[in-house]
């Protein structure tokens, strides 16, 4: 049996994804395909390191060991062919914390900061929460695929004088692995207009198709880009709150470090992160293979059973973005039907803008549960019934 098909107790009282779904969506016994956690046990190497650390019996204030930074730098060299020094790496409890710190470090209150929606919601909060002006450079869709709108970006840079951009690479929820050409186009604009980039690359290890390039590894970008990574998505350790910033430029690093301020590491998180980066590779490869299978399965299932929905097959992440607007149902109706159908997915409106009428489905669960969840979605949205209704209303819906 594939290890990712193993049945594990998921409905734990301390699981946000499983225990909070009913409360959050006001439903009962919902199958949760929302929060970006995987329903898979963490790598054995991580669990063994945690057991050993627990058995040591001491949980005093922790020190970040050099071996942890070495493990991070080795991982980046091995997986992404990106050579960084151990001293280029900063520890933080999470990427959302890093995004907020970057906004504080690289802009002033009232300054404009650019993001590219639809995008992970906390990007917007990181900007507005620190009293900065949010500037949107929406992604565009060409031939059924999301892409960057660099012409719009340039006009926004001219118009607003923004000096900071928060990049999501690979992109959540669009599922894009940005091409070298797209990243080079973005980098060229950043150099021309003197823009710093905080590049959230938390999904960089979850590549289903293609290859990920760190923006900061492009020529001339080390001086203007900081990169955020974490073992949390890669090895399913989000609850252990560990992330890292890579800033090879000393000035950028010092400013981020100051903005982050005091942060206490946790001895269990240190043990888990180090073991994951040192010994988690075999697990990750097997997990990616399983996720590729789930992605293909979900794409085929939805295309066949809900043909009017527009499915954006992810190139990275285990999150599938689906445009339901061609079904002609209101956002409220979609929400009501899904909850009644006992399934929870992320609503598109949570992704800042350009998300209305879409949903994001988390595919990282065992295949049997995924099939159950997709079945619930299709039944709830009433396939052919909804289509007839939409046609009767003369609604085509964008992106159809």
Q: Which residues of this protein are in contact with ligand PLP, per CB under 6 A?
A: 36, 94-96, 120, 168, 172, 200, 202, 230, 232, 238, 243
Q: What is the Cα–Cα distance from 360 to 354, expressed in whole angstroms?
A: 13
The nearer residue to ligand PLP, 240 or 327, going by C-beta atoms, is 240
220 conformational bin, left if phi > 0, alpha if psi -120 to 50, beta if neither: left
Please classify residue 228 by burial: count the beta carbons closer than 10 Å to its beta carbon, then call 0-12 exposed, 13-18 middle and 19+ buried: buried
Q: What is the Cα–Cα distance from 340 to 188, expressed in whole angstroms?
A: 49
Identify whether the C-beta of residue 355 lies closer than 8 Å to the C-beta of residue 331.
no
- Least distance (Å) between residue 170 CB and ligand PLP: 9
- Least distance (Å) between residue 295 CB and ligand PLP: 17
The nearer residue to ligand PLP, 32 or 326, going by C-beta atoms, is 32
- Least distance (Å) between residue 340 CB and ligand PLP: 27
Q: Which two tokens stand for residue 85?
A: 């020094």
- The separation between CA 96 and the C-alpha centre of its own chain, rounded to angstroms, equals 11
Helix H or strand E encompassing 199:
strand 196-200
Q: Which two tokens stand for residue 99?
A: 């995004």
Q: What is the Cα–Cα distance from 101 to 302, expressed in whole angstroms?
A: 40
For the chain, give percent helix, strand, coil, nearest 5. 45, 15, 40
- Least distance (Å) between residue 232 CB and ligand PLP: 5
The nearer residue to ligand PLP, 96 or 103, going by C-beta atoms, is 96
The nearer residue to ligand PLP, 96 or 195, going by C-beta atoms, is 96
The nearer residue to ligand PLP, 112 or 172, going by C-beta atoms, is 172
- Least distance (Å) between residue 205 CB and ligand PLP: 13
The nearer residue to ligand PLP, 72 or 95, going by C-beta atoms, is 95
- Least distance (Å) between residue 312 CB and ligand PLP: 15
Contacts by 255-262 with C-beta closer than 8 Å and gap 24+? 255/105, 255/106, 256/90, 256/98, 256/101, 256/102, 256/105, 256/226, 257/90, 258/105, 259/101, 259/102, 259/104, 259/105, 260/90, 260/92, 260/97, 260/98, 260/101
Cβ-proximal residues to 159 (8 Å cutoff; 6+ apart), any chain: none
The nearer residue to ligand PLP, 169 or 196, going by C-beta atoms, is 169
- Least distance (Å) between residue 301 CB and ligand PLP: 24
The nearer residue to ligand PLP, 327 or 351, going by C-beta atoms, is 351
How does strand 343-347 pair with strand 140-142? unpaired
Q: Partners of 390 in the beta sheet?
A: none
- Least distance (Å) between residue 310 CB and ligand PLP: 21
> Which residue of this chain has its Cβ atom nearest to ligand PLP in the complex?
94
The nearer residue to ligand PLP, 50 or 198, going by C-beta atoms, is 198
- Least distance (Å) between residue 385 CB and ligand PLP: 33
Q: Rounding to the nearest 10 degrees, give the CA dihedral for residues 387, 390, 394, 396.
A: -80
User: What does the longest C-alpha to C-alpha distance in the chain come to?
Assistant: 68
- Least distance (Å) between residue 274 CB and ligand PLP: 17
- Kindly provide the residue ranges of all beta strands, DSSP E only, lying in 273-374, ordered along the sequence: 310-312, 319-323, 343-347, 358-362
The nearer residue to ligand PLP, 120 or 321, going by C-beta atoms, is 120
């Amino acid at each position: 049996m594939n290890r990712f098909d193993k049945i594990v107790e998921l409905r734990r009282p301390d699981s946000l994804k499983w225990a909070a779904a009913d409360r959050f969506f006001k439903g009962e016994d919902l199958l949760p395909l929302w929060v970006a956690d995987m329903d898979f046990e963490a790598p054995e190497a991580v669990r063994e390191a945690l057991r050993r650390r627990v058995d040591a019996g001491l949980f005093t204030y922790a020190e970040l060991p050099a071996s942890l930074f070495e493990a991070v730098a080795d991982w980046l060299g091995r997986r992404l062919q990106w050579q960084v020094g151990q001293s280029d790496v900063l520890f933080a409890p999470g990427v959302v914390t890093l995004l907020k710190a970057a906004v504080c470090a690289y802009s002033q209150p009232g300054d404009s900061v650019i993001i590219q929606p639809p995008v992970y919601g906390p990007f917007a909060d990181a900007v507005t929460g620190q009293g900065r002006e949010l500037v949107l450079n929406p992604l565009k869709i060409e031939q059924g695929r999301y892409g960057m709108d660099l012409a719009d970006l340039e006009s926004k840079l001219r118009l607003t004088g923004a000096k900071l951009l928060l990049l999501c690479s690979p992109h959540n929820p669009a599922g894009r692995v940005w091409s070298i050409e797209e990243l080079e186009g973005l980098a060229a604009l950043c150099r021309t207009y003197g823009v710093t980039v905080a590049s959230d690359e938390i999904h960089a290890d979850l590549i289903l198709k293609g290859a990920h390039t760190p923006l900061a590894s492009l020529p001339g970008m080390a001086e203007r880009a900081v990169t955020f990574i974490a073992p949390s998505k890669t090895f399913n350790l989000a609850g252990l709150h560990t992330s890292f910033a890579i800033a090879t430029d000393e000035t950028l690093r010092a400013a981020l470090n100051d903005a982050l301020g005091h942060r206490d590491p946790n001895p269990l998180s240190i043990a888990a992160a180090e073991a994951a980066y040192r010994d988690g590779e075999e697990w990750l490869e097997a997990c990616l293979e399983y996720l590729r299978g789930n992605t293909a399965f979900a794409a085929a299932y939805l295309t066949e059973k809900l043909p009017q929905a527009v499915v954006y097959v992810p190139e990275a992440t285990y999150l599938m973005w689906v445009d339901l607007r061609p079904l002609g149902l209101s956002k409220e109706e979609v929400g009501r039907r899904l909850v009644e159908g006992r399934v929870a997915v992320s609503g598109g409106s949570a992704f800042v803008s350009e998300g209305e009428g879409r949903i994001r489905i988390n595919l990282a669960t065992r295949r049997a549960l995924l099939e159950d969840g997709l079945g619930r979605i299709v039944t709830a949205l009433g396939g052919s019934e909804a289509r007839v209704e939409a046609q009767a209303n003369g609604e085509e819906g964008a992106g159809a």
